[in-house]
């Protein structure tokens, strides 16, 4: 019974083999969690296509197929790279590696994306094998690059069997490592969930050849590579009678899904380190081959904990400068100040050019959790008892609760139009965590909607990039049982019915309040006359992201609407001026 068949059937087998019982129970727990989300016999892509999960008997045939293919590729002098986890990072990283050419312009890598066959994620494998990207992004490079590597260059494929690891020269680990918060707005009360990462490392060590390089790209709690991954690998190697040290390295991703998705991986600076001299040399060689390091040179750190810490500090810094503007945003609203113009005025100073308006919350997979990984690691991996962290947790807590204020603005705007928020039809424009991407993880819009639902509003949502908003549709089980943010609010049951409306005209029709929650390009161009015509009546307009120009704000007022905005205190002044004329 291959280990991955455990995932596939969801049954309890007395197969512990090379895994520790703790590790086994983690896999099983995770597996059962995923099994309960959807059917246990097939996986459904966001586009609605059903893919039957592989049966236990399919694994051998799959491995034979891979082996044959790998033998052919090796004969062409291609290095075999397995990318574990073909999510937002892994899918595009796999394509970039597969696109690599040598000095003569010939493909030098053969890449196999490896994805566990859970009901939630298996669909990514057949899609990738067709040359279709499992992630949706605005970057025009993503789709053709994946199609080219799979169908033309034939340097990329995907599989579900862990046995593929036996064939790897390099394994790139792009699985998730989560930070689970127990409260809303208190990051200290949380834990790092590294079950997927620990199980991946165990499986890798039980399959790979001892001289394969294992590159962890996952953002981890500092200390993980040396104090969690290394001991797991060492133990597995020992069981297999392998004396040598694993060639373990860390290099974090700085990917920005969006218009520059590919470039943010390939044409961007990287930091890396290795557990020993050989691992360090191997990771430097690999990254120099697959990334544009001529223009964006590598930074090589002495130890993996330094590379891991760099990622955490980098994102804590970003979370902090964003959180910093929250109090000034409230200040601006209460004192007739437009914070958007204040920021523009300050940003002309080159030293302050990275100031950015925070919007209704800081989402994405990284900024809400990475500081938490650092604070947690200080105690639970590195073993300190004192509490030295003040700014990082406070910043994350501010960012996590910033969206609540949008509920108040919407309530007040509707009240000014003589309408209570309870039972009002509220349209939220944008579900994604940032502009022009389809990723809803930790999006500020989720908090906005949960607060509005708590206050009794009826919710509709439009987003050009998001197909399903699992945080609502599957809130009983997604992102895990008992983990939905629904638990921090009352009146959340009906949000399971939230569906993304793709037709903007339909979404607008009859809405009583419209919230500009994300700066998607499609929303920046919307003109007040057009919006009000499509709504069919004046409505409350809430600007969470500095989307509205002063002319547009003025026009909305003239059309009978009420306007409010995060950090946009000057709106009241515009309203007063219009009243006087
Ligand atoms: N998304 C971003 O913008 C971003 C940016 C920088 C860094 N990162 C980091 O990169 C890492 C991956 O993030 P992501 O956004 O790609 O996550 P993701 O959830 O989109 O992808 C992770 C994938 O790994 C798969 N997986 C989990 N366990 C597995 C196993 N045992 N074997 C094989 N596959 C397995 C999952 O099914 C999933 O497809 C995280 O540590 C994240 O913090 C993400």
Q: What is the pLDDT of residues 52-70, one digit of tens each?
A: 999 999 999 999 999 999 9
Q: Quick check: CB of 364 below 6 Å from ligand 1?
A: yes
CB 91 within 8 A of CB 113: yes
Q: Which atom of ligand 1 is nearest to the CA of 200?
A: 31
Single pTM value for the model:
0.90
Whose tokens are 């989720």? That residue is: 446
Please state, as a whole number, how many other Cβ atoms lie within 10 Å of the Cβ of residue 210: 14
pLDDT digits (tens, 9 = 90+) for 321-356: 999 999 999 999 999 999 999 999 999 999 999 999
Task: Determine the Cα–Cα distance for residues 437 and 294; give it in Å rounded to an integer.
Answer: 29
State in Å: Cα 233 to ligand 1 middle.
20
Q: Which atom of ligand 1 is nearest to the CA of 88?
A: 16
Q: Quick check: CB of 4 below 6 Å from ligand 1?
A: no
Q: Which two tokens stand for residue 561?
A: 């609407």
Q: Quick check: CB of 175 below 6 Å from ligand 1?
A: yes
Question: Which pLDDT does position 258 carry in this prediction?
Answer: 82
Q: Quick check: CB of 222 below 6 Å from ligand 1?
A: no
Q: Quick check: CB of 84 below 6 Å from ligand 1?
A: yes
Q: Reduced to 3 states, what is the DSSP secondary structure of residue 474? A: coil
From 254, 365, 366, mutation site for ligand 1 pocket: most ligand atoms within 8 A of C-beta: 365
Task: Determine the Cα–Cα distance for residues 281 and 291; give it in Å rounded to an integer.
Answer: 15
Q: How many residues does the chain have?
A: 581
Q: Which atom of ligand 1 is nearest to the CA of 114?
A: 33
Q: Quick check: CB of 87 below 6 Å from ligand 1?
A: yes
Question: Which pLDDT does position 138 carry in this prediction?
Answer: 80
| Residues of the chain falling short of pLDDT 50 | 1-38
Question: Which pLDDT does position 10 carry in this prediction?
Answer: 32
Of all protein residues, the one whose alpha carbon is nearest to atom 28 of ligand 1 is: 196
Ranges of beta strands (E only) in 166-243 are: 170-173, 178-183, 186-193, 213-216
Q: 104 Cβ partners below 8 Å, 6+ apart?
A: none
Q: Quick check: CB of 89 below 6 Å from ligand 1?
A: yes
Helices and strands of the chain, counted as H and E runs:
23, 18
Could you tell me where the DSSP H helices lie in 381-518? 391-401, 404-416, 444-454, 470-473, 504-508
Task: Determine the Cα–Cα distance for residues 176 and 185; give it in Å rounded to an integer.
Answer: 22
Q: Which two tokens stand for residue 295?
A: 């223009």
Q: Which atom of ligand 1 is nearest to the CA of 369?
A: 43
State in Å: Cα 85 to ligand 1 middle.
6
Question: Which pLDDT does position 190 carry in this prediction?
Answer: 97
Question: Which pLDDT does position 255 carry in this prediction?
Answer: 92
> Phi/psi at 502 (nearest 5 deg)?
-90, -25
Q: Which atom of ligand 1 is nearest to the CA of 366?
A: 43
Please state, as a whole number, how many other Cβ atoms lie within 10 Å of the Cβ of residue 558: 13
CB 234 within 8 A of CB 273: no
């Amino acid at each position: 019974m291959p280990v991955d068949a455990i995932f596939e059937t969801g049954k309890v087998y007395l197969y512990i083999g090379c895994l520790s019982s703790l590790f086994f129970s983690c896999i099983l727990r995770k597996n059962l969690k995923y099994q309960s989300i959807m059917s246990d016999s097939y996986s459904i892509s966001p586009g609605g296509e059903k893919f039957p999960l592989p049966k236990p008997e399919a694994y051998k045939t799959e491995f034979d197929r891979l082996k044959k293919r790998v033998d052919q590729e090796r004969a062409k002098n291609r290095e075999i790279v397995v990318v574990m986890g073909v999510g937002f990072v892994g899918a595009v990283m796999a394509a970039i590696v597969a696109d690599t050419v040598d000095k003569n312009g010939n493909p030098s890598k053969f890449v196999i994306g490896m994805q566990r066959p859970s009901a939630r994620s298996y669909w990514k494998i057949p899609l990738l094998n067709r040359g279709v990207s499992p992630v949706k992004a605005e970057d025009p490079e993503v789709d053709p690059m994946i199609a080219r590597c799979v169908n033309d260059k034939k340097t990329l494929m995907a599989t579900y069997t862990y046995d593929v690891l036996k064939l790897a020269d390099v394994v790139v680990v792009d699985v998730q490592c989560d930070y689970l918060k127990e409260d809303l707005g208190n990051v200290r009360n949380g834990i790092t969930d590294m079950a997927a990462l620990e199980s991946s490392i165990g499986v890798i060590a039980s399959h790979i050849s001892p001289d394969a390089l294992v590159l962890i790209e996952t953002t981890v709690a500092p200390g993980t590579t040396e104090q969690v991954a290394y001991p797991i690998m060492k133990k597995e190697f020992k069981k297999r009678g392998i004396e040598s040290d694993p060639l373990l390295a860390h290099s974090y991703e700085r990917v920005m899904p969006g218009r520059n998705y590919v470039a943010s991986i390939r044409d961007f600076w990287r930091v890396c380190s290795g557990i020993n001299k050989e691992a360090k040399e191997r990771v430097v060689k690999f990254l120099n081959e697959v990334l544009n390091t001529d223009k964006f040179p590598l930074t090589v750190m002495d130890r993996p904990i330094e590379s891991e810490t760099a990622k955490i500090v980098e994102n804590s810094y970003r979370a902090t400068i964003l959180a910093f503007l929250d109090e000034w945003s409230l200040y601006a609203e209460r004192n007739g100040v437009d914070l958007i113009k204040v920021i523009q005025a300050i940003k002309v100073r080159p030293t302050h050019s990275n100031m950015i308006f925070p919007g209704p919350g800081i989402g994405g997979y990284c900024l809400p959790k990475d500081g938490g990984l650092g604070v947690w690691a200080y105690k639970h991996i590195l073993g300190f008892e004192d509490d030295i962290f003040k700014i990082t947790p406070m910043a994350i807590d501010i960012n996590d609760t910033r969206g609540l204020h949008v509920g108040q603005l919407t309530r007040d705007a509707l009240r000014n139009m003589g309408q209570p928020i309870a039972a009002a039809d509220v349209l939220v424009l944008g579900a994604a965590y940032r502009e022009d991407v389809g990723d809803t993880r930790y999006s500020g819009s989720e908090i906005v909607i949960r607060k509005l639902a708590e206050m009794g509003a009826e919710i509709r949502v439009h987003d050009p990039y998001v197909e399903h908003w699992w945080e609502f549709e599957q809130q009983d089980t997604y992102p895990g049982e008992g983990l939905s943010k629904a638990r921090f609010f009352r009146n959340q049951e009906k949000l399971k019915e939230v569906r993304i409306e793709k037709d903007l005209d339909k979404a607008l029709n009859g809405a009583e309040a419209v919230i500009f929650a994300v700066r998607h390009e499609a929303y920046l161009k919307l003109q007040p006359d057009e919006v009000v015509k499509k709504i069919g009546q004046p409505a409350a307009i809430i600007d969470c992201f500095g989307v509205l120009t002063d002319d547009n704000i003025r026009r909305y007022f003239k059309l009978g609407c009420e306007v409010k905005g995060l950090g946009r205190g000057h709106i009241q002044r515009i309203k007063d001026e219009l009243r006087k004329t």
